[in-house]
Amino acid sequence: MKSVLLSVVAGLILGALIHIASILTIPWAAENNAWSRLRGLAEINEVRRIEPDASGKSDLPDLDPAMHYAVCHYDLARGPLQIRAPVPRTYWSLALYDRLGINYYVINDRIVGPGELEVWVANKTQLLEIEPEDSENSGTSGEGESKDRLIVGAPRQQGFAVFRLLVPGASFEQTVEQALSGTSCATIILPGAPGAGNG
Amino acid sequence: MSFFSGGVRALRRIRADSARDWQPWSNRFNLAMALAISVVAGLGGTWFVLASSRGIRAIESGPWRAVIEIGSAQANPYARAIIARQGSAPMLAAELISFTAARDSLGGQLRSGCVYQLRGTQIETRLWTLAVLDSKGHILPADGGRHQITSLDVVREPDGSFEIALAERATPGNWLATGRDHKLSLSMRLYDTPLFANGGLASLAMPEIVPVRCS
pLDDT at B2 over 80: no
A89 touches chain B (CB under 8 A): no
A186 touches chain B (CB under 8 A): no
CATH number at residue A104: 2.60.40.1610
Q: What is the pLDDT of residues B128-150, one digit of tens each?
A: 999 999 998 888 888 888 899 99
Q: Same domain for A103 and A151?
A: yes
The alpha-carbon gap from A26 to the nearest alpha carbon of chain B, in Å, equals: 5
At residue B25, the pLDDT reads 61
Residue A193 falls inside a structural domain: no
Q: Same domain for A148 and A127?
A: yes
Q: How many domains are contained in chain A?
A: 2
Residue A120 falls inside a structural domain: yes
A15 compared with A172, residue with greater pLDDT? A15
Cross-chain CB nearest to A101 (options B45, B84, B127) = B84
Alpha carbon A187 to chain centroid distance?
Answer: 14
The full 3-state SS of A162-199, as one line of letters, equals EEEEECCCHHHHHHHHHHHHCCEEEECCCCCCCCCCCC
Torsions phi, psi of B69, nearest 5? 60, 15
Residue A192 falls inside a structural domain: no
Q: What is the pLDDT of residues B30-61, one digit of tens each?
A: 889 999 999 999 999 999 988 887 778 889 99
Q: Same domain for A93 and A156?
A: yes
Residue A199 falls inside a structural domain: no
Average model confidence (pLDDT) across chain A: 85
ipTM score: 0.84
At residue A144, the pLDDT reads 43
Substitution target in B74, B83, B129 with the highest count of A β-carbons within 10 Å is: B83
The domain limits of chain B are: 2-52, 93-214
Q: Same domain for A149 and A104?
A: yes
Q: Same domain for A60 and A17?
A: no
The CATH fold assigned to B93-214 is: Jelly Rolls (2.60.120)
Is A23:B49 a contact under the CB 8 Å cutoff? yes
pLDDT at B187 over 90: yes
At residue B114, the pLDDT reads 94
Chain A (35-54) residues lying within 8 Å, Cβ to Cβ, of chain B: 36-37, 52-54
A141 compared with A17, residue with greater pLDDT? A17
Residue A178 falls inside a structural domain: yes
Range of the domain at A162: 34-187
Q: What is the pLDDT of residues B71-114, one digit of tens each?
A: 888 889 999 999 998 898 999 999 999 999 999 999 999 999 99
Q: Same domain for A21 and A41?
A: no
Chain A (132-171) residues lying within 8 Å, Cβ to Cβ, of chain B: 155, 160, 162, 166, 168-169
DSSP helix/strand/coil, B41:
helix
Chain A contacts of B66, Cβ < 8 Å? none
Nearest-5° Cα angle at B125, B211 to B133: 40
